[in-house]
Amino acid sequence: MEFLHDLIDFIRTRKKYWLIPLIAILLIFGILIVYVSGSAAGALIYPLF
């Protein structure tokens, strides 16, 4: 949790608001890979990355 707090403080202090969509996309891809890895759709998703 401290990492998230530090990341939010970094974005606010340095005014790096362009990082927010990048972090959101990376989180979505990470969740997608973890969620799909155990299913049959995993074979279809992995070639995309």
Decide if pLDDT at 36 tops 90: no
Instruction: Quote the pLDDT of residue 41.
Output: 66
User: Any idea where the domains of the chain sit in the sequence?
Assistant: 2-48
Average pLDDT over residues 16-37: 87
Under 8 Å CB-to-CB from 36, ≥6 apart: which residues? Answer: 42, 45
Q: Band of the pLDDT at 49, cuts 50, 70, 90? A: low
Decide if pLDDT at 22 tops 90: yes
Selection from 10, 34, 42 nearest residue 23 by Cα: 10
